[in-house]
A = this chain, B = another copy of it.
Amino acid sequence: MTAKDDSAPPRTDPSPDQHAGCAFCQARERTEWCGLDRADVKTIDEVKSARTYMPGDVLYHQGDSCAGVYCVRAGLIGLRKLDHDGNSALVRLAYAGDTIGYRSFLAGETHHLSAEVLKPSRVCFIEQATARRILEGNPALGLRFLRHATRDLDDAEDKFLQSTNSDIRMRMAHLLFILKDRFATENKDGRMTLELPLSRQDMAAMIGVRPETMSRAIRKLEDDGLAFFSGRTVRVPDTAALFAEIEFEH
Contacts and interface: CB of A to CB of B under 8 A. Distances in A.
Given A103-B153, A154-B112, A83 B165 contact: yes
A193 B154 CA distance: 33
A150 B206 CA distance: 19
A36 interface: no
A103 B163 contact: no
Contact of A149 (B139, B150, B248): B150
Contact of A89 (B135, B161, B247): B161
B153 A106 contact: no
Interface in A136-185: 136-140, 142-143, 145-147, 149-154, 156-157, 159-161, 163-165
A83 B161 contact: yes
Copies assembled: 2
Interface centre among A106, A140, A142, A249 (most CB of B within 10 A): A142
A106 B143 contact: yes
A68 B140 CA distance: 19
Interface in A47-106: 81, 83-85, 89, 91-92, 102-103, 106
A154 B208 CA distance: 16
Contacts of A143: 106, 135-136, 142
A107 interface: yes
A146 B84 contact: no
Given A142-B146, A159-B160, 15 more contacts: A83-B165, A84-B165, A89-B161, A91-B157, A92-B157, A106-B143, A107-B147, A137-B139, A139-B139, A146-B149, A149-B149, A149-B150, A152-B153, A160-B163, A160-B208
30 contacts: A83-B161, A83-B165, A84-B165, A84-B247, A84-B248, A85-B165, A91-B157, A103-B153, A106-B143, A106-B146, A106-B147, A107-B147, A112-B154, A112-B250, A135-B139, A136-B139, A136-B140, A136-B143, A142-B142, A146-B149, A149-B149, A149-B150, A153-B153, A156-B156, A156-B157, A159-B160, A160-B163, A160-B208, A163-B163, A163-B208
